[in-house]
Amino acid sequence: MLTCKELSERATDYLENALSPAQRAGIKMHLLMCKHCQAYVDQLAKTVKLLKAAGDSAAELTPDPALLAKFRSGTAESQG
């Protein structure tokens, strides 16, 4: 059976379906018996889902190029 450390090292591959059937079975077996790893994998899955959703709206977060250039050059007016 996998250790918790081994599971944590493979959790991302597990969520991305990048493991062999035998490896997936080992993780599923461990998850059936370990509530801590269940919570870890659940949280990791939620995090991945949120990051993917944020990636879809990344264009909305891109600053105006002219303002960004001013900021980087130190010429942006300070507000106070």
pLDDT of residue 79: 47
Q: For residue 67, give both structure tokens.
A: 């303002």
Tell me how crowded residue 24 is: count the other CB atoms within 10 A of its CB.
15
Determine contact, residues 15/52, Cβ cutoff 8 Å: no
Residue 5 CB-half CA count within 13 A: 0
**pLDDT value at position 60?**
60
- Model pLDDT for residues 11-66, shown as the tens digit of each residue: 999 999 999 999 999 999 999 999 999 999 999 999 988 888 777 665 566 667 78
pLDDT of residue 9 exceeding 70: yes
Q: What are the backbone angles phi and psi of residue 17, rounded to the nearest 5°?
A: 55, 40
Above 60 in pLDDT, residue 77? no
Element (H, E) at 10: helix 4-15
Q: What is the DSSP letter of 61?
A: G
